[in-house]
Amino acid sequence: MSSNSRETKIPDKTEMKGRYELNRNFKLKARVSSSNARIIRHALDALVPKGSVRKVGDEFVVETEMEGASAKELNRTLLSALRKAEKKTTLRAEWTSNNNTTERFFDYVLKKTIKN
């Protein structure tokens, strides 16, 4: 081995702050509709163990907190899991971060960003 070889150091979280996005907490308020309410209710109960899931009319209203890199990533993960359970599922979601930025999604599409 040559004397020019270098050791690779993995930065810890404090060194990464500012250069990489860390997981943040988001508050979720969402409306979920589907062609099969029973299956979606079971999926929501598994995906949202903390928080509330209520049936209001033909939809489910979900309120919880989740941790992730971004609202987009969390939204994609949640909708993908719901659509694995039932393909005909629609998600209207508002994700609010700790810095009071709210991102509104319709299914996978970001519709609006509001900075409070």
Going from N- to C-terminal start, the domains of the chain cover: 22-115
Measured between alpha carbons, how far is 41 from 59 in angstroms, rounded to an integer?
10
pLDDT tens column, 39-86: 999 999 999 989 999 999 999 999 999 999 999 999 999 999 999 999
**What's the CATH architecture for 22-115?**
2-Layer Sandwich (3.30)
| pLDDT value of position 21 | 55
Half-sphere exposure of 105 (CA within 13 A, CB side): 24
| pLDDT value of position 116 | 83
- Percent of the chain predicted with pLDDT > 70: 82
| pLDDT value of position 22 | 74
Q: Is the pTM of this model over 0.85?
A: no
Q: Which residue has the higher pLDDT, 20 or 75?
A: 75
pLDDT tens column, 82-101: 999 999 999 999 999 999 99
Q: Output Rg (C-alpha) for the chain, integer angstroms.
A: 19
